[in-house]
Amino acid sequence: MLFPTITFAVFFLVVYVANWALMPRPRLWKQAIIVASCVFYGWWDWRLIFLLLGATLVNQALGVRVYRAAGGRGGRRPAARPWLTLAVAVNLATLGVFKYFDFFALSLNGVLAAFGLGAPLPLLRIALPVGISFLVFRMLTYVIDIYRGQLMPAPALDFAVYTVFFPYLLAGPIARAREFLPQLREPRDPRAVDSSRAFVLILGGLVKKLLIADYLSTHIVGGLFASPQTYSSWETFWGILAYSVQIYCDFSAYSDIAIGIALLLGFELPDNFAAPYAARTIQDFWRRWHITLSSWLRDYLYIPLGGNRKGRGRTYANLVLTFLLGGLWHGAGWTFVFWGLLHGVGLAVERARMDARRSQGLPEPGATAGGRALQHLGVFAFVSLAWVFFRAESLGNAVAVLWRLAAGLGSLGTAVTLPVMALCVLGVAVQYVPRRGVEALEAGFSRIGWAGQGVALALALFLIDMLGPAGSAEFLYFKF
């Protein structure tokens, strides 16, 4: 079920009414949300509901076992380590079977064939359940936090709500159990709902998805990656820029809509984007892009690997390994692995340069306006070129696209239109709008009253429907 559809609008209207009608009866409310979320998730394939409920039951049982083995919160963690290991293995095995088995089998078969060794491994050809990576990350967060003594096992019904809560079910944000579960302890107060912020987030998400991301995808990005040899250097440049804008608008749109929908139901989800293309360093980019993923990788992978506590060489290696695995998390393909490697190496080189400057007593770079502008431009160029590998169907396809930047000189082509350029510029320029400007918009919207808000919402939805495409494409991160 896609957010920007009539089907979801009807679904959410029913859920919204039931949500506030049942809120004074917590147990019945939780059961209703679980049922509604299962309907939402099973809309693609009803069999997926069994995966969702199975993951809930298994991880709740393992979380309880970890807690008991440790002797309670803050207890003996070594005694609980076997249960934690089992929990991590079960979750990663689930992800591996559904998402990675065929990828590694094909890769190994290729290596064996190169040496004349036959007997290829069989392929499972299992359809990838939508949002499975986000589900596994939430499960791991729950069990690991219990092991660390940061969380107690939740009541089974509460944990089921955390697992299946439909706003973030398909593509995040990756809400941590210790952030979400406390919100279930008491019924939510409808008078405390920040509806103005919710409506601004939802409308902004619809604009980014339907009017920017989908337009750029159909008018230049899709064609460039399908047949790069037919595009000029000028068109390739704008196509790469367009994909950078498309993936930001598409993914941040889902996050904004999810956060807005959760707000209308009385729940707060963590922010997932903070103007990432305004970053001055690669590290700063990852503090602003997919914030819940980058912080998850930091807290549950980079720091357990040793972080920066075991010397500079180990720090650089940990950065590269973390982002290699982060790239593989995004998709079962060598393009994603290489994309993660680019960011890991970029972060390591950036960190090494900063360490060298500090050891020499040199000031931080970007002391002047010109220096800061060059930093912004350099990081955006690096990120945009790396996105080519993220989007490409293969490494060869990525190289073919990048090669056109030099090989397609001498022609302007027809793919770069005024709307394409305007949306690309807008998608980057909006990153530099101060946060206080957005807050002023939300405050202004709240002051016009419910009648004015209703008129504004109706007009905005009408314009989005008129200007947007017929129907809506799936969000890009559904396949991750």
If one counts the domains in the chain, the total is: 2
Exposure string of 136-175, with b = 16+ CB inside 10 Å and e = fewer, is: bbbbbbbbbbbbbeebebbeebbbbbbbbbbbbbbbbbbb
For residue 3, being part of any structural domain is answered with: no
The pLDDT value recorded for residue 110 is 64
Q: How far apart are CA 310 and CA 319, in angstroms?
A: 13
Whether residue 300 sits in one domain with residue 171: no
Cβ atoms within 10 A of the Cβ of 190, count? 13
Whether residue 201 sits in one domain with residue 170: no
The pLDDT value recorded for residue 128 is 65
The pLDDT value recorded for residue 220 is 93
| Residues of the chain falling short of pLDDT 70 | 73-76, 100-128, 366-367, 462, 465, 468, 470-473, 478-480
Cβ atoms within 10 A of the Cβ of 301, count? 17
Please choose, from the candidates 310, 340, 338, 316, the residue with its C-alpha nearest in 3D space to the C-alpha of residue 327. Answer: 340
The pLDDT value recorded for residue 328 is 86
CA-CA distances (angstroms) from residue 134 to 32, 130, 254?
22, 9, 14
The pLDDT value recorded for residue 354 is 87
Q: Is 454 helix (H, G, I), strand (E, B) or coil?
A: helix
CA-CA distances (angstroms) from residue 176 to 138, 197, 305, 352, 380?
6, 22, 20, 32, 29
Q: How far apart are CA 416 and CA 414, in angstroms?
A: 6
Q: Are 149 and 77 in contact (CB under 8 A)?
A: yes
Diameter of the chain by CA atoms? Answer: 73
Domain end: 187, 218, 243, which one?
A: 187
The pLDDT value recorded for residue 333 is 84
Q: Average pLDDT over the chain, rounded to whole?
A: 87
For residue 274, being part of any structural domain is answered with: yes
Cβ-based neighbours of 389, under 8 Å, separated by 6 or more: 335, 336, 338, 339, 342, 395, 398
The pLDDT value recorded for residue 243 is 96
Domain end: 132, 165, 187, which one?
A: 187
Whether residue 176 sits in one domain with residue 75: yes
What is the residue range of 142's domain?
Answer: 19-187
Q: Are 105 and 99 in contact (CB under 8 A)?
A: no
Please choose, from the candidates 23, 116, 106, 416, the residue with its C-alpha nearest in 3D space to the C-alpha of residue 242. Answer: 416
For residue 434, being part of any structural domain is answered with: yes
The pLDDT value recorded for residue 421 is 95
Q: Are 172 and 293 in contact (CB under 8 A)?
A: yes
Hey, CA dihedral for 388, 390, 391, 397, is it positive or negative?
positive
306's torsion region: left (phi>0), alpha (psi -120 to 50) or beta?
A: left
Whether residue 157 sits in one domain with residue 116: yes
The pLDDT value recorded for residue 417 is 93
Exposure string of 28-37, with b = 16+ CB inside 10 Å and e = fewer, is: ebbebbbebb
Given 290, 330, 343, 376, which residue is catalytic? 330
For residue 123, being part of any structural domain is answered with: yes
**pLDDT, tens digit (0-9, with 9 covering 90-100), for 463-480:** 776 776 766 667 777 666
The pLDDT value recorded for residue 226 is 93
Domain end: 187, 205, 221, which one?
A: 187
Q: Is 330 a catalytic residue?
A: yes
Give backbone dihedrals phi and psi of 265, rounded to 5 degrees, phi first: -90, -5
What is the identity of the amino acid at 119?
A: A
The pLDDT value recorded for residue 480 is 65
**pLDDT, tens digit (0-9, with 9 covering 90-100), for 98-141:** 776 666 666 666 666 666 665 565 655 666 677 788 899 999 99
What is the identity of the amino acid at 471?
A: G
Q: Where are the beta strands (DSSP E) in 332-455?
A: none
Whether residue 228 sits in one domain with residue 157: no
Whether residue 333 sits in one domain with residue 292: yes
For residue 87, being part of any structural domain is answered with: yes
Whether residue 273 sits in one domain with residue 145: no
Whether residue 434 sits in one domain with residue 354: yes
